[in-house]
């Protein structure tokens, strides 16, 4: 009998059984991404957006994350900015992979997801492909689905390769 971990608090119907690898991420407007990755690098904090927006009081920080299949940009909001450092292994439950301001594709916890540190330093990873650097288009056969059209850049255009 397979062991099933309980659903994350506030994330109904989502369990570790539906974990995806970063290479399998597809942009969507739903909180259904459950994955584990290592934080490779963090960019400087971005100032809060202009006043008048609902999220105007939250500073953000972009991080480069990866697993053994691919890399992606992970957007850290508010307290998440200080909660994770390079080398941390993070489990994301109920996350979202979608377009954010300035049309950049990012992975994030969102309002309903949860990111938690589950370890440090010991995880195999690759830096390419970077799923945030893929150009996606609607599938002509099913406009509800997104398909990869082209790779914008094999590496992150925000973070330099670690080498």
Q: Give the separation between CA 38 and CA 72, rounded to whole angstroms.
A: 11
| pLDDT recorded at residue 11 | 34
| pLDDT recorded at residue 6 | 37
In a domain, 144, yes or no: yes
In a domain, 2, yes or no: no
Domain of 29, in residue numbers = 22-43+59-151
In a domain, 16, yes or no: no
In a domain, 82, yes or no: yes
Residues contacting 154, CB < 8 A, separation 6+: 128, 129, 130, 133
Which CATH number is 110's domain given?
A: 2.40.50.140
Torsion of Cα atoms, 126 then 127 then 129 then 131, to 10°: 110
| pLDDT recorded at residue 44 | 66
In a domain, 78, yes or no: yes
Q: What is the pTM of this model?
A: 0.74
In a domain, 9, yes or no: no
Domain count, the chain: 1
Q: Cα dist. 14→11, 38, 96, 113 in Å?
A: 6, 21, 13, 10
| pLDDT recorded at residue 90 | 94
Residues facing residue 126 across a β-bridge: none
Q: Give the separation between CA 69 and CA 19, rounded to whole angstroms.
A: 13
> Burial of 34 by CB count in 10 Å (0-12 exposed, 13-18 middle, 19+ buried)?
buried
In a domain, 38, yes or no: yes
Mean pLDDT by 10 residues, the chain (163 residues): 35 54 83 90 67 58 92 87 91 86 78 88 87 84 80 65 58
| pLDDT recorded at residue 7 | 36
| pLDDT recorded at residue 87 | 94
Closest-CA residue to 133 (of 4, 38, 56, 23): 23
**Helices H, strands E: what count in the chain?**
1, 8
In a domain, 140, yes or no: yes
């Amino acid at each position: 009998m397979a062991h099933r971990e309980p659903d994350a608090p506030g994330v109904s119907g989502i369990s570790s059984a539906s974990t995806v690898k970063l290479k399998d991420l597809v942009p969507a407007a739903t909180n259904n991404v459950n994955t584990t990755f290592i934080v490779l690098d963090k960019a400087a904090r971005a100032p809060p957006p202009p006043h008048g927006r609902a999220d105007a009081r939250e500073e953000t920080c972009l991080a480069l994350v990866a697993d053994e299949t691919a890399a992606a940009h992970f957007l850290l909001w508010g307290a998440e900015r200080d909660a994770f450092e390079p080398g941390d292994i993070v489990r994301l439950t109920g996350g979202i992979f979608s377009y954010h301001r300035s049309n950049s594709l990012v992975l994030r916890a969102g309002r309903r997801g949860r990111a938690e540190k589950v370890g440090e330093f010991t995880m195999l990873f690759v830096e390419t492909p970077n799923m945030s650097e893929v150009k996606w288009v609607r599938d002509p056969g099913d406009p509800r689905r997104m398909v990869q059209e082209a790779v914008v850049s094999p590496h992150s255009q925000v973070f330099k390769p670690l080498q």
